[in-house]
């Protein structure tokens, strides 16, 4: 508990988490208001309220990466490892605190987006009537939290804010889609890429969408909903395990 309290204090006494949290909420809820406000009266779907999820995700990953790279930048990571020789315990505590914060931000953004849609268009059917609807909303926090674990792992491996953020943004915004351009095997590889699989968890087969563009992009993964979540979680924790192993073997 002492480690968790220490990491909580370090996280909440810096400005970047607050700014990233506010930006995530503004982007996701703002897009929900925009998309809902431009649909026909009575139109729309639960999935449409979560359209901003894909724009909040990069900000969340920046938040998580900065929670690590900022410590390397100012040398406080060295002090942490001197005070806590068990580096794995210190890093797991940091990961737990950041992931929990991101989970809360994700749920607030998802339900805030859903709430603003109901407020702006009370005549539309935004009721959470099915498990797919519930996952589409509540699943945002889970995906954000696991994405934060991935970002922390990248931050530990790269250790520089600009490099880690650039790597995360390039991969998240471009690399997975570019993989599809590889002749013959591109689409087969893309089915197993982590963020494509994460979208499978959120969107399922898309049966609850009002239109193709409603909500996060549909996934081409063939995994079932909960298997997709398990796959993304496994990827996140394997990345974290690699990062902790590397961190334990090199100088702080």
> Rounded CA gap, 87 and 130, in Å?
43
DSSP string, 71-123: HHHHTHHHHHHHH-S-HHHHHHHHHHHHHHHHHHHHHHHHHHHHHHHHHH-TT
Helix (H) or strand (E) holding 159: none
Token pair 């609807």 is found at 133
Tell me, what DSSP letter sits at residue 40?
Answer: P
- 3-state SS assignment for residue 142: helix
- The total domain count for the chain is 1
Q: What angle do CA 247, 104, 94 make, to 5 degrees?
A: 20
> Rounded CA gap, 157 and 164, in Å?
8
pTM for this prediction: 0.91
**pLDDT tens by residue, the chain, 252 residues:** 688 888 888 888 888 889 999 999 999 999 888 888 776 655 567 888 888 898 999 999 999 999 999 988 888 888 888 888 888 999 999 999 999 999 999 999 999 999 998 888 887 778 888 888 899 899 999 999 999 999 999 999 999 999 999 999 999 888 888 898 898 898 899 999 999 999 999 887 766 665 545 666 778 888 888 999 999 999 999 999 999 999 988 876
User: Which structural domain range is residue 75 located in?
Assistant: 2-249
Q: What angle do CA 243, 244, 248 make, to 5 degrees?
A: 120
């Amino acid at each position: 508990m002492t480690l968790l309290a220490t990491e909580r204090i370090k996280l909440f006494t810096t400005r970047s988490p607050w700014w990233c949290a506010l930006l995530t909420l503004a982007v996701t809820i703002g897009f929900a208001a925009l998309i809902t406000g431009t649909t026909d009266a009575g139109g729309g779907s639960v999935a449409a309220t979560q359209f901003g999820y894909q724009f909040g995700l990069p900000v969340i990953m920046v938040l998580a990466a900065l929670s690590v790279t900022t410590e390397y930048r100012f040398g406080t990571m060295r002090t942490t490892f001197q005070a806590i020789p068990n580096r794995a315990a210190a890093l797991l505590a940091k990961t737990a605190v950041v992931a929990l914060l991101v989970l809360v931000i994700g749920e607030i953004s998802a339900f805030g987006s859903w709430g603003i849609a109901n407020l702006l268009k009370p005549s539309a059917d935004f009721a959470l009537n099915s498990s797919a609807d519930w996952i589409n909303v509540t699943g945002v926090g889970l995906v954000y939290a696991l994405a934060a674990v991935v970002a922390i792992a990248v931050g530990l491996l790269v250790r520089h804010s600009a490099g880690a953020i650039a790597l995360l943004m390039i991969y998240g915004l471009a690399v997975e889609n570019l993989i599809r351009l590889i002749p013959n095997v591109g689409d087969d590889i893309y089915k197993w890429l982590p963020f494509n699989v994460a979208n499978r968890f959120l969107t399922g087969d898309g049966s609850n969408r009002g239109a193709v563009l409603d909500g996060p992009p549909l996934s081409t993964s063939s995994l079932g909903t909960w298997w997709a979540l398990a796959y993304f979680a496994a990827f996140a924790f394997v990345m974290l395990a690699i990062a902790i192993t590397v961190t334990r073997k090199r100088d702080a």
